[in-house]
Structure 1
Amino acid sequence: MLREIAIAPFRGLVLAGLSVLGLVALMAHAAVLILTSSFGLIILVPWAVGQARKVTGVRRTLAARWDRVRIAQPYAPPPAPPLPDVEGFYVSEGQLYKTPRMPMLYARIDWMLDDRATWRDIGWLLLNATLGNVLALTPAALIVYGTLTMPWGVPLIALGFLSAPVLLRLHTTGSRALLGPARRGFRSRPSTWFPIWGRCSALAALSLLSLVALVAPRAWRVANQRRKLAGDWSGVPVAKPYANRTTKRDRLFFALDPFVGLLITAVPMELVVYGGWGLALPQTWRWFTGPDEPDWAAGWYGQFAGSDALAIPVGLAMVVAGLWLSPPLARLNGLWVRLMLAPSQEEALVQRVRELTHTRAEATDAAEAELRRIERDLHDGAQARLVAMGLGLGALERLIDHDPAKARQLLAKVRDNSAKALAELRDLVRGIHPPVLADRGLGDAVRALALDTPLPVKVHVDLSRKLDPPVESAAYFAISEVLSNVTRHADADAARVDVCLGADTLELTVWDDGRGGADMSRGTGLRGVARRLSAFDGAMTVSSPVGGPTTVRMTLRVSAG
């Protein structure tokens, strides 16, 4: 008992030293957060989180040795190493990678940021640097002050030794509450806050540019882009009007957006920017440069309420608040865009009727073109050979009695025409509906198509059910045409095809490592694909920057299974 009382003040000094290491870890978090949000250096995130976990791990070890209090490890199990798919690629964040390095990095970042224990560690580091230091240093401060005021300081020395075990026990109790396993996890994923915050910042910039779009001659294009971003970034799909013209509602939106849209999206942007660049970073810089530096605009930077000590914790709290507010405010911005730019009920009905009329016309033209192709192929191919076979058989009938040798030669030609006619008929039937598609489904049909392509093609198929034959046929020929376009124009060494079935959409993606550029849009093949997809409320987008790679994404509407 006496031994515990004697060494407790020195243990408090050790905890105070640990709080210094915690401050260093917090500074690392602040620097990495600023570098990540400004320059995209996400590779530093696991390192910063790892430093905090080392400090908190030491505190758990000290609690077990000094107080015999076991604090269980609270962290979720680490992610398993990423596995390649059947084609040897690693898929992460919608991208393909040839090595597991980047997918593993993304998985580790998500694992750390989505674990509640990571944020509880940061909270402990903040509290340990403030309230924790009060508990840890009070006994030593009483003993030192009592020693300096002898003999009147004897009661203070006694109080310091006697209070040390109690205060350290309080320190351990608080540490166990924060550093132990959490009772529940996050309702949302903090790992998604960073990209959404970046989108909020971009939307804020677009709101400022709305003043320029207000006087632009083709402002409807900007309005269509805002509708698209509302669906892609905010998760609020906004339908486009049928007519390509600027309406009064578009002008009204551009007039109000610099105020309403900016007010919505600027809040998370300003919280993160000012918390990081205005509070945490300047104060951290002052620690390195010394007190002779300027006063940072009379306390506006690097100080909070005139206090240097509050700059970093308040700055980090503002950054976290800005990131946390980004998802709901991004959605609110999407709702604002939909309120102003979505077509009215009457406009939507008229637009749908026009779309269906256009789709029906496209489907009719495609069907007529297909019938003309079949008729032309039959007339020029199999029909001509069958006529030749008939003429050959008539001549064979006349020659078989008095010139058997010539009859055998003619029979060989007839047999050759028969084989060629059969092959052309098979090709024609395969062009209408490939037998492998009917027998084995879309997945195996696409794999067979990949085997017939001159360059190496990897195929990934994720189909939970069999699709209707018209949908399978449209998807098959769309992929076939795109692969043919890649072979002719892309100058690629390899390609990949992804077939993924969602709740009510079939997504097709064809990727190649070619040179990209305008060559990929050469010819009418891709326009034919777009016409074929339009019959199923489908769409096609082509991303082909100069130098590659080229990505063609196609979607078809399917019935829910």
Structure 2
Amino acid sequence: MTSGLGSQLPTRPRTGGQHDPSAMVRGPALNLIRGLAMAMRASAALALFAAAAVVCILSVTGIGLLAVPLVIPLVRRLSTAERRSAARWGVLIESPYRPVPCTAIPFEDGIVGWVRRCRWLLTDPATWRDLLWLPVDSVVGLIGLLPVVCLYATGVALLQGSTLWHPASSLWYVPNFGQNPTTELWALPLGVALLTVWVWISPTLFRWHALLAGTLLGPTKRAFSDELPATRPRIRPWFTTLRTRATHAGIATLFGAVVAAASEVCLALVIVNSYTLLLMIVGVGVLLLPAITAAVRWLCSASRKLAEYFGAQVDEPYRPEPDGLNDGLVGLVARCRWLLTDPATWRDLLWMLANAILGLLCLLPAALLYYVGEGVVLAAGLWRPLADAGHPRWYGPILVQSQAAAVAAACFAVALFVVWLWFAPFVLRTHALFTAALLRPTGTALLTARAKHLAETREDAIETQAAELRRIERDLHDGAQARLVAMGLALGAAERQLDTNPDRARKLIAETRASSASALAELRDLVRGIHPPVLAERGLPDALRALALASPLSTRITVTIPGIVSPAIAAAVYFAVSELMTNVLKHAEAEHIDITASYENGKLSVRVADDGNGGADLNDGSGLAGLRRRLAAFDGTVAVDSPRGGPTVVDMEVPCVLS
């Protein structure tokens, strides 16, 4: 079987064979080395998990962002080593990471590039699956020591079996060994049995470890080697569901701890903001209010993004900054007036005051998970020294002072773990709804913004239409009209020379015929510029493909639009893509263009990317601004990512309904 990339899976290593006696020694020896390597990776996973946890906690204050691009790549290297190790046992785990964005080169743009790289790493779901794998591997990876322990026990058993009974010998293998010769006679066959078990059990353990790594470190669909037997262990659907649920619960627990820590920051900002408002009476607060409000809005914006992650859409409710604000004292007072008259400012303060209390509830998933771990540790044996010391622990309703009570505590911990799987996302989802209730725009604000947007788009549409009419008039006047006038003059001259100079008359008529063909071609181009025939006859997908075929650059196009786009929106998108391709040809010095058009969630999305020199800016008054105005008439948006040196990526989205 081959993977999606077409690479052949490695075959399962053999531990022995009839035709190769040396494999009976080489296989176990290699398994011993692989077991030691697995145990070393488990130790490294524990250290990296501790470092990553500290970095994630410090990221709340911004300090951890300095270490995120340093720690996460180390985690990815360790995960890559696990994938390569799993491939030796027939489990192909493809790399699940998102490609590196062109703006995420460290230190290229200073602190901005560093923060972008942090955003790329932390928004990749594969990063969190790697972090979830670290504590799992730090425990499960210790099975690599089992062959070493088994080999050690085999050596001790063989040594005791060969020396028989020596009362002075301090060697022992199991309890009561070395007490009498009868039990020691069993050491030799027991050692041989352990050696056989070691030879056969190590490949099975390693394959199970590889399958477990594949559930967390790879994509959903994995390929397995055809060399493996049909009875190999498969990953059950319930295990995949459990893994997904545990991943969501783990992410929710981590974000819950962050929200709980941020709630104390909210309380501090509310207190500082209250003192700033009091100082407004004496005028000192004018100097502090813009900075304090900026910090409050930054924290609220981060909370909106977190709420969107957990399924609550929260838009920015703030009024746009008025024009003409200067940096002097007058401008500072005007800025304070703008902030204080915005209702969203007071809603932010109300949310922060409530979140200072309700945000602490987001720590409940972490507390529940800690309590689950406490039950596991008690059941694993911690209950015994506590009970021997006369201080047995209560775990829920169970007094753990016996082995039966320890087993019951373990079952109760498993039940709490199942509760945690659903409880953690529920808590963060509830907090997201609370955030959306206070931080989303009010109905009045939405209507005001909508009315303003409609007024702006109507004005832009009128201006665009007037500019288009002027362009058509100019093209008719300078092109087809001039040629028609020239044709009339040429025909008049030919008529006058028809009797006196027939050859000259025939030549003028031939030139007039050529001019008529040119005028007809210009009229066709003009009509095509108003509404291309291919767009009316074949629809938007084929019209975009026609643009790609007509481009002199190497153009790759992917269109997945399962329906017919309305003519007005199709024309706007077609001309937007045409203008972008023209800009690439004129200014970008590119060699390749990628066009992707798709329809999802009620939005038509088009991406145009090139490998040119970049530097395009949506706000520099270029043609991109006109393109944005054209799509804004349909509530469309345009986003440009074009760093210096390229590449350039332009994303366009237009809400529409397909027919």
| Fold equivalence (TM over 0.5) | yes
* Alpha-carbon distance, 1:22 to partner: 5.9
In 2: Cα distance, 1:336 partner to 1:515 partner: 45
Deviates more, 1:495-504 or 1:181-190: 181-190
Is the 2:543–2:574 Cα contact (8 Å) retained in structure 1?
Answer: yes
Q: Does 1:40 align with 2:73?
A: yes
**TM-score relative to the length of structure 1:** 0.61
- Alignment of structure 1 residues 541-560 onto 2, 5 Å: 541-560=639-658
Deviations 1:434-481 (A, max 9, x none): 223233333333233234445433322222333222222111111122
Structure-2 residue corresponding to 1:279: none
Deviations 1:121-165 (A, max 9, x none): 8765568989xx99x9899797554234448xx689989999x99
Matching residue's letter, 1:45: S
Matching residue's letter, 1:239: D
SS at match of 1:186: helix
SS at match of 1:376: helix
Is the 2:253–2:365 Cα contact (8 Å) retained in structure 1?
Answer: no
Structure-2 residue corresponding to 1:24: 40
Structure-2 residue corresponding to 1:425: 523
Q: 1:53 to 1:551 in 2, by over 3 A?
A: closer
Is the 1:32–1:44 Cα contact (8 Å) retained in structure 2?
Answer: no
Structure-2 residue corresponding to 1:434: 532
In 2: Cα distance, 1:120 partner to 1:201 partner: 20
Q: 1:226 to 1:356 in 2, by over 3 A?
A: farther
Q: Does 1:378 align with 2:476?
A: yes
Structure-2 residue corresponding to 1:237: 313
Is the 2:311–2:429 Cα contact (8 Å) retained in structure 1?
Answer: yes
Is the 2:45–2:135 Cα contact (8 Å) retained in structure 1?
Answer: no
Matching residue's letter, 1:39: I
Structure-1 residue corresponding to 2:588: 490
Structure-2 residue corresponding to 1:146: 176
In 1: Cα distance, 2:255 partner to 2:588 partner: 32
Structure-2 residue corresponding to 1:363: 461
Deviations 1:285-305 (A, max 9, x none): xxxxxxxxxxxxxxxxxxxxx
Is the 2:617–2:642 Cα contact (8 Å) retained in structure 1?
Answer: no
* Alpha-carbon distance, 1:411 to partner: 2.2
In 1: Cα distance, 2:590 partner to 2:261 partner: 38
Gaps of 5+ in 1: 1-14, 58-72, 83-91, 98-108, 276-316
Gaps of 5+ in 2: 1-30, 53-67, 103-124, 158-170, 210-232, 274-288, 321-341, 374-413
SS at match of 1:528: helix
Is the 2:602–2:656 Cα contact (8 Å) retained in structure 1?
Answer: yes
Q: 1:551 to 1:44 in 2, by over 3 A?
A: same
Structure-2 residue corresponding to 1:93: 98
Deviations 1:251-275 (A, max 9, x none): 3345566775687489879x99xx9
In 2: Cα distance, 1:546 partner to 1:208 partner: 41
**TM-score relative to the length of structure 2:** 0.53
SS at match of 2:176: helix
SS at match of 2:612: coil
Q: 1:529 to 1:334 in 2, by over 3 A?
A: farther
Matching residue's letter, 1:186: T
Q: 1:440 to 1:495 in 2, by over 3 A?
A: same
In 2: Cα distance, 1:540 partner to 1:485 partner: 15
In 2: Cα distance, 1:474 partner to 1:237 partner: 28
Matching residue's letter, 2:73: G
Is the 2:46–2:135 Cα contact (8 Å) retained in structure 1?
Answer: no
In 2: Cα distance, 1:222 partner to 1:48 partner: 39
* Alpha-carbon distance, 1:539 to partner: 0.4
Deviates more, 1:441-450 or 1:529-538: 441-450
Structure-1 residue corresponding to 2:347: 249
Q: Does 1:352 align with 2:428?
A: no
Count of residues paired in the alignment: 451
Q: 1:446 to 1:21 in 2, by over 3 A?
A: closer
* Alpha-carbon distance, 1:182 to partner: 4.5
Is the 1:224–1:240 Cα contact (8 Å) retained in structure 2?
Answer: no
In 2: Cα distance, 1:540 partner to 1:327 partner: 33
- % of aligned pairs identical? 35
Matching residue's letter, 1:24: M
SS at match of 2:584: helix
* Alpha-carbon distance, 1:396 to partner: 3.5
Deviations 1:181-210 (A, max 9, x none): 454232264788999999889988987887
In 2: Cα distance, 1:121 partner to 1:488 partner: 54
SS at match of 1:417: helix
Is the 1:515–1:548 Cα contact (8 Å) retained in structure 2?
Answer: yes
Q: 1:23 to 1:225 in 2, by over 3 A?
A: same
SS at match of 1:370: helix
In 1: Cα distance, 2:459 partner to 2:561 partner: 30
Q: 1:253 to 1:412 in 2, by over 3 A?
A: farther
In 2: Cα distance, 1:192 partner to 1:489 partner: 46
SS at match of 2:609: strand
SS at match of 1:393: helix
Is the 1:29–1:48 Cα contact (8 Å) retained in structure 2?
Answer: no
CA RMSD of aligned residues (A): 5.6
SS at match of 1:239: coil
Q: Does 1:411 align with 2:509?
A: yes
Q: 1:493 to 1:143 in 2, by over 3 A?
A: closer
In 2: Cα distance, 1:416 partner to 1:160 partner: 107
- Alignment of structure 1 residues 294-333 onto 2, 5 Å: none
SS at match of 2:565: coil
In 2: Cα distance, 1:355 partner to 1:200 partner: 37
SS at match of 2:177: helix
Q: 1:400 to 1:157 in 2, by over 3 A?
A: same
SS at match of 1:147: coil
Question: Which residue of 485, 489, 494 maps to 1:387?
Answer: 485
- Alignment of structure 1 residues 440-455 onto 2, 5 Å: 440-455=538-553
Deviations 1:48-96 (A, max 9, x none): 3555898xx7xxxxxxxxxxxxxxx9x6x756x99xxxxxxxxx83779
Is the 2:153–2:173 Cα contact (8 Å) retained in structure 1?
Answer: no
Matching residue's letter, 1:26: A
Deviations 1:283-334 (A, max 9, x none): xxxxxxxxxxxxxxxxxxxxxxxxxxxxxxxxxx9xxx99999977765664
